[in-house]
Structure 1
Amino acid sequence: MNFRTLGKTGYEISEVSFGSWAIGGTWGEVDDKTSLMALDEAIDQGVNFFDTADVYGDGRSERLLSKLSASVKDRIYIATKAGRRLNPHNAEGYNKENLSNFINRSLKNLNVECIDLLQLHCPPTDVFYNEEVFSALDDLKKEGKIAHYGVSVEKVSEALKALEYPNVATVQIIYNMFRHKPGDEFFQLAKNNNVGIICRVPLASGLLTGKMTKDFFFDPKDHRSFNRNGESFDKGETFSGVDYELGLKAVEELRKIKPQNMTMAQFALKWILMNDHISCIIPGGKTPEQVKDNVISSELPNLTEEVMDQVKNIYDKYIREGVHKLW
């Protein structure tokens, strides 16, 4: 496992880390025993950064992370998110009282006294223009409830605005073979400001694994079944906002240029890791086998410049027109 620095936090974290949305819910059925095995496998493979949120299974993934043995808790970092418990989810709800309540709940779920990294969970755009929100986070940091804070965003414009707040330590954003825009407009500025970059949805909700087909079955409880047009939350979180059948066509083109020593998932993850501006990727892992497959990408050979150019050409041909301008 290779490690990179997570911005202003100073944490040295595994470049392939662990996203825990899938073990919390809305990705079909999951079994807690298997999820704990996946978490243990991640640690055995050198993963030391785990990303979660208070709404993943209504705290389920946070509580699963709390079950990790005491012997490893002093050598891992857990980042959680707050804000999406608001109902309605509006900018006015992002105030110190609500954030404090959310953090207290996460502290209990995680069974810790201080959260390593607290992230605003894709708040409405207006939140990024409200200095009082970030002042409240500064206060909560002084109170010792959080060690550092950052933001999770939907849009590059929100990420750019977040850089204006000096104590924002990290930005979490969607970046993958089907979502190139952050690399064009945001990454260099983030690095200049010593802001860590956490890349989520690295496999485009599994589309980039190459395992899906036109008739692939998704559980009705799986967001890939019910949120393709943004029915429940931003559609960019499901298949990166790419039309499913168009995405399948692009995947077949990517398959033709995939190095022989990589699975499709490893190819997609390695493509992201080729960018040294990012701090880590957070693929989900519902089973130990998935975790192993993901982690291998850290030590695979770099992709050639020719392959990188070919990926861009496929993006330009199939994806750019429908996705690039939206986020």
Structure 2
Amino acid sequence: MKYIKLGKTDETVSTISLGTWAFGGPGTVGKNIPVGWANQSKDDSINVLRKAFDAGINHWDTADVYGDGISEKIIGEVWKDISRSSIFLATKVGWDMGEYEHFYHPKLIKKNIDRSFKNLNTDYIDLLYLHHCNFKEEKHFFDAIKIIDGYQKNGKIRFLGISDWDCIKIMKYIDKYNFDVVQPYRNVMDSDYKSSGLKQYISLNNLGVCFFSPIKHGLLTGKYLTPPTFQKGDHRLKIKDFFDQKILNCMLENKKELVRKFSYHPNPVLHGLIGPLLEDSPTGCVLLGQRNTKQVGVAKTLGDALSKEDSDWVKNLYRMNHLK
């Protein structure tokens, strides 16, 4: 396993880190908006955590909304087998406003952070993210920061990060506080990380960066030959590309190209999709969902950055083929 320094946190984390969104199973928020993953068993999730630890994957990422706390609770069960201090543990707050008038109401934030400590069975959290940048009003941003600052002063939260699907939204708030880590959406089809200015900001300020959804929930791997059927509560129901046969055909052709290009690697498709994200981000890691021990075994082979030439080739392949 490869490791990097996560920016100014000075923490050493695996370049392939563990995303545990799927551990929460299917779920909805608000007006039955799907936010989870179907067909995930607790036993598989527990086994993944143990296998990931054995593989040297020492950075685990979760959130309070994943299964309404289920993902956090599963992680909280493994400390009897795995030393808590051996894992750099991240969670998030702010996704579900519940009965409050906005996502970052101080009472809601405090309640959910306290619940995360209980769920995770820990007295400290290494990294807490603001899960998104929909603050409605700037005042709500600073109200949330004030609550979290209290936990940091007491040593219960070590580092603070900010996340969003939209890099431009992150840029709107990133310089309003001394954040340690950023978690943006990024894959080889996306160019916003650079064009938004976020890449340069991270470099200039030595921030850690953790990329989420690096394979677009599996879509980019070319594994779907026909539009799949997802169960109620699975967030992939919202992603139109899964149900566009033309796009699925493009992904299959791209897969074949990656297999040819990176035939020297035991997992050429994932190597080709993840390597470009690490090529230009020396303080960065990739959050890769791993739903069973077989996928952990695959993850263990990844983490090497591609050359700039090969990275550009992969990005051009996906961006051009997707437009045809």
Aligned counterpart for 2:37 among listed residues 8, 13, 27: 27
Partner SS, residue 16 of structure 2: coil
Partner SS, residue 181 of structure 2: strand
Q: Distance in 1 between matches of 2:245 and 2:90?
A: 30
Map of 1:264 onto structure 2: 269
> Is 1:285 the equivalent of 2:297?
no
Shift of 1:58: 1.2
Structure 2 letter corresponding to 1:179? D
Contact 2:276–2:308, Cα closer than 8 Å, also in 1 = no
**Paired residues, number:** 307
Map of 1:75 onto structure 2: 86
Aligned counterpart for 1:308 among listed residues 311, 315, 324: 311
Distance change in 2, residues 1:38/1:157 (3 Å): same
Shift of 1:186: 1.2
Map of 1:8 onto structure 2: 8
Q: Distance in 2 between matches of 1:74 and 1:305?
A: 35
Map of 1:324 onto structure 2: none
> Is 1:192 the equivalent of 2:204?
yes
Partner SS, residue 148 of structure 1: strand
Structure 1 letter corresponding to 2:275? K
Q: Distance in 2 between matches of 1:159 and 1:309?
A: 25
> Is 1:49 the equivalent of 2:59?
yes
Distance change in 2, residues 1:284/1:89 (3 Å): farther
Distance change in 2, residues 1:221/1:188 (3 Å): same
> Is 1:209 the equivalent of 2:187?
no
Distance change in 2, residues 1:16/1:85 (3 Å): same
Q: Distance in 2 between matches of 1:49 and 1:206?
A: 21
Shift of 1:318: 4.2
Shift of 1:88: 5.7
Map of 2:49 onto structure 1: 39
Contact 1:250–1:314, Cα closer than 8 Å, also in 2 = no
Map of 1:85 onto structure 2: 96
Distance change in 2, residues 1:249/1:88 (3 Å): farther
TM-score normalised over the length of structure 2:
0.85
Structure 1: unaligned runs, 5 residues or longer: 230-237, 322-327
Deviations 1:12-40 (A, max 9, x none): 11110000001111221111111111111
Distance change in 2, residues 1:245/1:40 (3 Å): farther
Distance change in 2, residues 1:304/1:143 (3 Å): closer
Structure 2 letter corresponding to 1:312? K
Structure 1 letter corresponding to 2:67? G
Deviations 1:107-157 (A, max 9, x none): 000011121111111141536674333233222311333111111112111
Report the identity percentage: 30
Distance change in 2, residues 1:159/1:247 (3 Å): farther
> Is 1:141 the equivalent of 2:141?
no
Distance change in 2, residues 1:54/1:252 (3 Å): same
Structure 2: unaligned runs, 5 residues or longer: 26-35
Structural mapping, 1:93-132, within 5 Å: 93-126=103-136, 130-132=141-143
Contact 2:222–2:248, Cα closer than 8 Å, also in 1 = no
Structure 2 letter corresponding to 1:9? T
